[in-house]
């Protein structure tokens, strides 16, 4: 109960104080998933096998969504303009960066200029997926995505729904933030080298 109240307070605080829509949405989804998992835990069960199996590919799914939305963005289309506004101009900035620098195979140096850089022109791509392809290239980014798939597959085999949900939330956040592949901000990648124990729970 205390954990749930803490999540609810965090949701209210982030939304009211910082006005960050994406972070607030992630916290809200976390609250709903926590309630769902607590309910299943009392019944000594975990989510359906089919649902958890689909989560193995959550990072490739969000990669496709993020890259498609960026590349398909059209400032002359009202629908895309509205989506771009919702995501705080991230689609337009991502598309501008791709058109200017291109997506290399093996990475390239790009000076990312954020809003706190003074007089320099703003040039920052927030999406983890778009930024990774721009800076690290197709090869390394694909390797990182496959690492997440491998970790999710291992989590599925040991029935670790919590880890799968954690990657799901991190991947969703990665659409509008740059931290998914940065290990000092998102330590989930360290799970590749961790020892895990199987959960003695049944699939629905």
Per-residue model confidence as pLDDT tens digits over 4-41: 666 667 666 666 665 566 666 676 777 777 777 777 76
d(CA 66, CA 81): 15
The length of the chain in residues reads: 204
Tell me: the pLDDT tens digits for 167-184? 998 999 899 888 888 887
Q: 76 in helix, strand or coil?
A: coil
The distance of Cα 178 from the centroid of its chain, to the nearest Å, equals 9
* pLDDT at residue 31 in the model: 72
Average pLDDT on 125-130 reads 92
Closest CA to 48 of 159, 198, 136: 159
Alpha-carbon distance 45 to 70, whole Å? 39
pLDDT at residue 72 above 70?
yes
Distance from C-alpha of 17 to C-alpha of 19, rounded to nearest angstrom: 6
Higher pLDDT residue, 45 or 120? Answer: 45
With b meaning 16 or more CB within 10 Å and e meaning fewer, what string describes 110-140? eeeeeeeeeeeeebbbbbbbbbbbbbbbeeb
Question: pLDDT tens for residues 86-120?
Answer: 888 899 999 999 999 999 999 999 888 766 655 56
Q: What percent of the chain has pLDDT over 90?
A: 42
Q: Catalogue the E-assigned strands of the chain.
A: 45-46, 202-203
Cα–Cα distance, 138 to 145 (Å, whole number):
10
124 in Cβ contact with 177 (< 8 Å): no
Q: What is the pLDDT of residue 19?
A: 57
On the question of pLDDT at 158 being above 90, the answer is no
Mean pLDDT of the chain: 83
> What residues contact 167, with CB distance under 8 A and at least 6 apart?
55, 58, 59, 148, 151, 152, 155, 188
């Amino acid at each position: 109960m205390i954990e749930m109240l803490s999540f609810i307070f965090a949701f209210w605080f982030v939304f009211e104080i910082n006005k960050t829509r994406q972070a607030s949405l992630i916290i809200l989804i976390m609250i709903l998933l926590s309630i769902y998992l607590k309910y299943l835990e009392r019944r000594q069960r975990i989510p359906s096998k089919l649902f958890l199996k689909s989560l193995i590919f959550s990072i490739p799914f969000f990669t496709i969504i993020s890259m498609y939305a960026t590349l398909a963005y059209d400032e002359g289309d009202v629908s895309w303009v509205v989506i771009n506004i919702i995501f705080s101009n991230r689609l337009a900035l991502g598309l501008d960066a791709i058109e200017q620098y291109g997506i290399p195979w093996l990475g390239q140096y790009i000076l990312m200029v954020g809003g706190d850089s003074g007089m320099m022109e703003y040039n920052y791509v927030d999406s983890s997926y778009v930024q990774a392809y721009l800076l690290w290239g197709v090869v390394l980014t694909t390797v990182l995505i496959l690492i997440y798939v491998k970790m999710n597959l291992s989590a599925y085999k040991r029935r670790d729904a919590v880890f799968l949900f954690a990657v799901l939330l991190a991947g969703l956040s990665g659409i509008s933030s740059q931290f998914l592949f940065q290990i000092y901000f998102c330590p989930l990648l360290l799970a590749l080298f961790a020892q895990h124990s199987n959960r003695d729970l049944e699939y629905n």
